[in-house]
Amino acid sequence: MSLDPDFAAALQSRSIELDEEVAQRLQSYVLAMWRWNEQLNLTRHTTWDLFVGRDLRDCLQLAPLLSPGEEVLDLGSGNGVPGIPLAILRDDLDVSLAESVAKRAKVLSEMIDELGLPVPVYASRGEDLLDDFRFSTLVCRAVGSVAKLCRWIEPHWTNIDRMLLIKGPRWVEERNEARHLGLMNELQMRKVASYPLGDEPPSDDRPAADEADSDADADSDSSSDQGVIIQIWPKGRVLTVGN
């Protein structure tokens, strides 16, 4: 299958260079996802420009933050972002997907089978999986606030090393809320990637990125048009993954 000219153009306009086989596999994923999207509400990013400018952009920022061979859990995978593109971009990783809505988990399994990826899909709440499984990094986009995720993961820190959360400009508010609630007392947080959101209009399917952060100007770590990836891990823990 040749690369769709609109996909190629969307990559080129952002100066994104991908290995041809990787681009082909990403295209197969997106076409499968859009096909399922006609039956099930999986995404509103139904053009190549939106896929590249929003979904792939986040995954390309996330990929280099993971160490070789890491066991990664995508909590709240939904349409497969970031887990599936991550597994395609970094085939050395051991990626698993957790999706709590059974119908979506089933579709994720179908897509994974079609793509021939070695990625287990769990029809389960991600935090519940951590009762029985260990992962080095939990990744997550557009599932819940920092406070919510910290609460979910609080009893499970022995079974993950760190979280990498893909967030939008409101991450500072979310961080402050988590601190205010005392949820960060035993945790540390570091911004490990920051990148322009570019031409992105407000989006309400990306709750963390839907409007400018009013605190942003007061915080040198933040800007109203930046996407960020934040790393959260327990105080005192020396991470052997990431950098």
Ligand X SMILES: C[S@@+](CC[C@H](N)C(=O)[O-])C[C@H]1O[C@@H](n2cnc3c(N)ncnc32)[C@H](O)[C@@H]1O
Binding-site ranges for ligand X (CB under 6 A) = 75-79, 81, 98-101, 104, 125-127, 141-143, 205
CB closer to ligand X out of 77 and 223: 77
CB of 141 to ligand X, least distance (A): 4
CB closer to ligand X out of 53 and 126: 126
CA 148, CA 145: separation in Å to the nearest integer?
5
CA 157, CA 58: separation in Å to the nearest integer?
25
CA 88, CA 22: separation in Å to the nearest integer?
6
CA 205, CA 41: separation in Å to the nearest integer?
11
| 76 annotated to a ligand binding site | yes
Task: State the alpha helices, DSSP H only, in 38-166.
Answer: 48-50, 57-62, 83-89, 102-115, 126-129, 146-153
CB of 98 to ligand X, least distance (A): 5
Q: Are 187 and 155 in contact (CB under 8 A)?
A: no
Half-sphere exposure of 28 (CA within 13 A, CB side): 17
CB closer to ligand X out of 142 and 178: 142
Q: Provide the CA 195 distance to its chain's centre, in angstroms.
A: 14
CB closer to ligand X out of 14 and 125: 125
Q: What residue has token string 């990306």? A: 206
CB of 121 to ligand X, least distance (A): 11
| 141 annotated to a ligand binding site | yes
CB of 59 to ligand X, least distance (A): 10
| 127 annotated to a ligand binding site | yes
CB closer to ligand X out of 114 and 205: 205
Q: Are 165 and 232 in contact (CB under 8 A)?
A: yes
CA 54, CA 168: separation in Å to the nearest integer?
11
For ligand X, which residue has the nearest CB?
A: 78
| 116 annotated to a ligand binding site | no
CB of 194 to ligand X, least distance (A): 18
Please report, in range form, the residues annotated as the binding site.
76, 126-127, 141
What residue numbers does the annotated binding site for S-adenosyl-L-methionine cover? 76, 126-127, 141
